[in-house]
Amino acid sequence: MINTDEIRKHIAQLTSVSLDILTDGKRLDELDDWDSMAMVGTAAMIFELTNQTVDLDAVEALKTYGDIVKLALANAPESVMP
């Protein structure tokens, strides 16, 4: 079971930002450390949390932090906590 706090912590760590920076509307291209390594890390995080693989093209298409949350939750088992 995952929740959005777990996702936020992972992404903050991957992009070297504080948790309060990551609002749903925060654009990923505004994060200095949002690069190919962060994208791979995001795909790995989603797999770790959901046991579902995510296509890297889908991760590359993400525009905001909220998009990451939506992608992770869409791949999560039904027993997810928002």
32-50 pLDDT, tens digit each: 999 999 999 999 999 998 9
Number of H-type helices and E-type strands within the chain:
4, 0
Q: What are phi and psi of 27, to 5 degrees?
A: -75, 130
Three-state DSSP class for residue 64: strand
In this predicted structure, the answer to whether residue 63 has a pLDDT above a threshold of 90 is yes
**Looking at residue 76, what is its pLDDT?**
84
pTM: 0.89
Q: Which residue has the higher pLDDT, 61 or 80?
A: 61
The C-alpha atoms of residue 15 and residue 63 are separated, in whole angstroms, by: 14
Q: Which helix (H) or strand (E) holds 48?
A: helix 36-50
Contacts of residue 18, Cβ cutoff 8 Å, sequence gap at least 6: 12
**Looking at residue 2, what is its pLDDT?**
74
